[in-house]
Amino acid sequence: MQLSVERVSKQYRGNLWALRDFSLELRPGVLGLLGPNGAGKTTLMSVLSTITRATSGRVLWNDIDLAQNPNAIRSVLGYLPQDFGVYPNLNAVEFLEYLAAAKGLDAPTSRKRIDELLNLVNLNDVRKRLLGGFSGGMKQRVGIAQALLNDPQLLIVDEPTAGLDPEERVRFRNLLSELSGEHVVILSTHIVSDVEATATDIALISAGTLVAHATPEELLRQVEGKVWEDVVPSSEMQAIKQRYLISGTARRSDGVHVRILAPSAPNGAQPLVPTLEDAYLYCLNAHRAGAAA
Amino acid sequence: MNRTRLLYHLVRADFLERVRRYNFLVTLAFAVYLGYCCVTGKVVIRLDQYRGVYNSAWVGCLMALVATMFLSLIGFYIVKNTIQRDQETRVGQILATTPITKSFYTVAKMISNFAVLAAMVAVMAIAAVIMQWLKAEDPHLHLWQLLSPFLIFALPAVAFTAGLAVLFENIPGLRGGAGNVIYFFVWTALLAVPAATLDKGGKVSEATYFRDFSGIVSVMSQMQQDLRSIDPTYKNDAALTIGDTATSKRFLWSGLHPTPALYWSRVTCVLAAIALALLAALFFHRFDPAREWRLKKAPTQNPAASNLEGPALPAQTAGHLTPVQHTATASSLLRLVLAELKLMLKGHRWWWYAGAGIIFIASLASPFDAARGGVALAALIWPVLVWSQMGTREARFNTASLLFSAEHSIHRQLPALWIAGVVVTAATNSGLAIRLLIAGDHQGLLSWIACTLFVPSLALALGLWSGTSRFFEAVYTAWWYIGPAHHTPGLDFLGTTAQSARPETYLLLTAGLVVAAYLGRRAKLAYA
């Protein structure tokens, strides 16, 4: 099981490049795709899920070119788009039955899968309720269920935890972790904690290019010894922000506790254990500085 | 911000949002085409064997009336989505939290509708100048004579249409497809009532001006009067006709004789448009989700309860999921057809099913002529809102990315959708088929088959290419009215009479539409 993205570029009208020479090699596991808004994450998801065609480059699923045979990937694909709708006059079971038929599943299997998936996403008690009456979080869970209908080998989920309450978010993270052993999972998000909890690999994307592709441990190693905490009065915050890259602040009775990313310790600052969010900010900042230079 | 400035920005934003869409270019192209039809003589004002010399007065009036006629119909369908767009884009919810009043909002929407239609009128006005120059029957260009009919007739008429569109969008029951169908008949009635005066041949009273929203009767009655003074043998026949109409005689028309009553009637038309927008404010839901929900479909439970999250029960793990074999089978295609049928037929009000049942019974129980006439016509208009969803549902409900990432979606979901459409058509019109079978009317049965295949194919092709259900609703209703309802040869797709039936033509057309539908879907997909 292998997904290869080879020098994929995508250009929209108006000479706008959403992806440029993007390459990636994926095997079973969860890839956390992290990047700021407009970085090209959703475009990459759309290309991989055969919704849109790359301007150049190739995507290979087990060495089969997606452009030559898109159905090779579609037959094993589960896709949860960032923005999707449901048919309001169908209930959850009917909607999933419809999509199961569209995906070519036979009737007995789809009935079983739908029952199990509704249980999995905690919608069993509302299975007969019309989707028009569902809240955003419940619709999102229907979306998760439909993505898993065909037991996908390749699962692409774009901002899957948007609209989920904390309990459901944890449940979904656990589900992704469970799937990671035998599936290629691509989790696109800008919520670093989702990636922290589930990803076996992380790809950082910015301005349509790949900034880094590494394990979480490797990324964390990059910022080891570069994260500091300083306590400053509120009046000095503006000056600190101008001098250093800040990854967090917290107001306390003794002043503002500032989380600083810097190669060496600012005066009086104490070292901290880096988090993935620190690594994310550090890498992006370094990439932007490199690009500007 | 003062109210004028606020109104300006509301109208401007809405106008720009619309004119920067691809659809607007298509509608402008339509306006250009109308102009072309006039230039090439495909649309003329005919008075018996006469038409006017193409001077500024005649050309201006002809083009203004053409603009009025078509934009008051097509324009309605073009602009009747402005509030819906605010709802879909969620901009409406933001606006609802501002101090803008309901009446201010609906009037602003009416004005932005008017601005869009006025842009199309402007295109027609430019075409009028070009037309006079190309025709070269009178080299003298009198700008006021040429352009004043657009100001006096076309603009007030499109303003009235803009107001009606806002009203229809706000009244429950008229905002959807039913409103689109009903508007066609409203439009026909609005034109027909004053036009009856023309047929009588006498002088049109000034009171008629006030009933004549389009201005067609007001203009043509003056043309009739002037022709009558030149040729006393003129028989009062007058029409704005489409097609290659031969007019062997010419007369020089010096132009309109506007009276205060005529001007006032046009001012009244504009005031009526504003009144319609203000009336619409009474029905406007101000993007209140509770009211929107209530107005859409009858919920099966309390809408407040629908916002509750699902119960927090211990859920299964992924390890318990049944494995799947990836095989697309013939039975899954059948299930897809059934699922498409369910999608088409679910969610209608009880009276829709009752109506379909009554039509079916009537087609079996009524005399044969009635079953093939009025009852069959009813069976062909009743499911119009079911057909109009074909090809547009995925865009409307934003499910395209879910469906089109499925294996072989174009070769499975599209045929399933088409088959489901044919099944619905056959089912709702099955009473007639039974009667034709019993009567042994094989030609009639062939026409029935052609019709059953043609209607869903038309719906699917138009839906896929236009991306909106309104296009089919407008085109089909007009076609149904002109064709089967009036037994017009060539346009009667049901074959209501032996003379008007053309089953072979419609079978061929069906094949073309199916190909068009395939290409329409294919164009939307990155891969087949």
| Burial class for B305, CB neighbours closer than 10 Å (0-12, 13-18, 19+) | exposed
- Chain B neighbors of A71, CB-CB under 8 A: 407-408
Nearest residue of chain B to residue A130 (CA atoms) = B300
CB B162 within 8 A of CB B79: yes
Q: Kindly determine whether residue A89 and residue B335, on different chains, have CB atoms separated by under 8 Å.
A: no
Chain B residue closest to A66 (CA)?
B527
The residue that leads in pLDDT, B528 or B106, is B106
Best A51, A65, A77 residue to mutate vs chain B (most B CBs within 10 Å) = A51
B27: left (phi over 0), alpha (psi -120 to 50) or beta: alpha
| pLDDT over threshold 90, residue B136 | no
User: Can you spell out the DSSP letters for A136-161?
Assistant: HHHHHHHHHHHHTTT--SEEEEESTT
Residue B264 is inside which H or E element, if any?
Answer: helix B260-283
Whether the predicted pLDDT of B207 surpasses 60: yes
- Confidence band of B93 (pLDDT split at 50, 70, 90): confident
Residues 6+ apart with CB under 8 A from B142: B55, B56, B57
B138-142, B289-293, B338-342, B511-515: least confident range: B289-293
Residue ranges of chain A whose pLDDT lies below 50? none
Distance from CA of A266 to the nearest CA of B (A): 45
DSSP classification of residue B366: S
Give the residue on A whose Cα is nearest the Cα of B411: A102
Pairing of strands B239-242, B43-46: antiparallel
- pLDDT of B97 higher than 60: yes
CB spacing of A175 vs B317 below 8 angstroms? yes
CB pairs under 8 A between A and B: 187
Q: What distances in angstroms separate CA B522 from CA A60, B22, B226, B264, B454, one per listed residue?
A: 22, 19, 56, 53, 20
Residues of chain B contacting residue A44, judged by C-beta atoms under 8 Å apart: none
- Give 3-state DSSP helix, strand, coil % of chain A, rounded to 5: 40, 30, 30
Distance CA(B470)–CA(B165), nearest Å, equals: 13
Q: How far apart are CA B360 and CA B335, in angstroms?
A: 26
The mean-pLDDT minimum among A40-44, B91-95, B145-149, B378-382 falls in B91-95
Closest CA to A78 of A181, A152, A178: A152
CA atoms of B400 and A105, how far apart (whole Å): 19
Q: Is A134 on the interface with B (CB under 8 A)?
A: yes
Whether B321 sits inside 8 A of A116 (CB atoms) is yes
pLDDT digits 0-9 by tens, B274-307: 999 999 999 998 887 766 655 554 444 444 444 4
Using the beta-carbon criterion (under 8 Å), do A134 and B319 form an inter-chain contact?
no
- Least CB–CB distance from A179: residue in B318, B323, B401: B318
Residue tagged 């929203």 (tokens): B213
Strand intervals (E) in B432-492:
none
Set out the domains of chain A in order of their start, with CATH numbers.
3-220 (3.40.50.300), 221-292 (no CATH)
* Chain B residue nearest residue A111, CA to CA: B322
Q: Which member of A76, A84, A105 has the closest CB to residue B332?
A: A105
Q: Which residues of B touch A51 (CB under 8 A)?
A: 401, 404-405, 526
Position B171 scores a pLDDT of 93
Residue A278: strand, helix, or coil: helix
pLDDT at B434: 94
CA distance B18 to chain A (A): 19
Cβ contact A150–B343 (<8 Å) = no
Look at B254 and B97; give whichever has higher pLDDT: B254
The answer to whether A53 contacts B526, with C-beta atoms less than 8 Å apart, is yes
| Per-residue pLDDT tens over the stretch B30-66 | 888 888 888 777 888 888 888 899 999 999 999 999 9
Q: Are A246 and A259 in contact (CB under 8 A)?
A: yes
Residues of chain B with pLDDT > 90, as a percent, come to 46
What pLDDT, on the 0 to 100 scale, is given for residue B492?
Answer: 92
Sheet holding A154-158, edge to edge: A77-80, A154-158, A184-189, A29-34, A201-206, A209-214
Measure CB to CB from residue A75 to each of B301, B317, B407 and give the nearest one: B407
Which pLDDT does position B306 carry in this prediction?
44
Average pLDDT over every residue of B335-358: 91
63-82 in chain A: CB under 8 A from chain B: 66-67, 70-71, 74-77, 79, 81
* 3-class DSSP state of A69: coil
pLDDT of A192 reads 85
Q: How far, in Å, are B93, B111, B293, B338, B366 from residue B353 at the CA level? A: 34, 39, 22, 18, 20
- The pLDDT > 90 percentage for chain A reads 59
> What's the confidence (pLDDT) of residue B30?
83
Confidence of residue B375 (pLDDT cuts 50, 70, 90): very high
The CA angle B91-B97-B100, to the nearest 5 degrees, is: 90
Q: What is the pLDDT of residue B187?
A: 92
Higher pLDDT, B273 or B8: B273
Chain B closest-CA separation from residue A292 CA (Å): 34
What's the mean pLDDT in B115-144? 90
pLDDT of residue B204: 74
Return d(Cα B317, Cα A122) in angstroms, integer. Answer: 11
Is the per-residue pLDDT at B310 higher than 80? Answer: no
Q: Give the best-scoring range by mean pLDDT among A132-141, B423-432, B483-492.
A: B423-432
- Grade residue B20 by pLDDT with cuts at 50, 70 and 90: confident
Q: In DSSP terms, which residues pair with A33 in a beta bridge?
A: A188, A203
- A141 touches B at CB < 8 Å: yes
Question: Beta partners for A6?
Answer: A58
Full DSSP string of B208-259: HHHH-SS-HHHHHHHHHHHHHHH-TT-----EEEES-----EEE--------
d(C-alpha A259, C-alpha A226), whole Å: 10
Is B329's pLDDT higher than 80?
no
Region class of B100: left (phi > 0), else alpha (psi between -120 and 50), else beta: beta
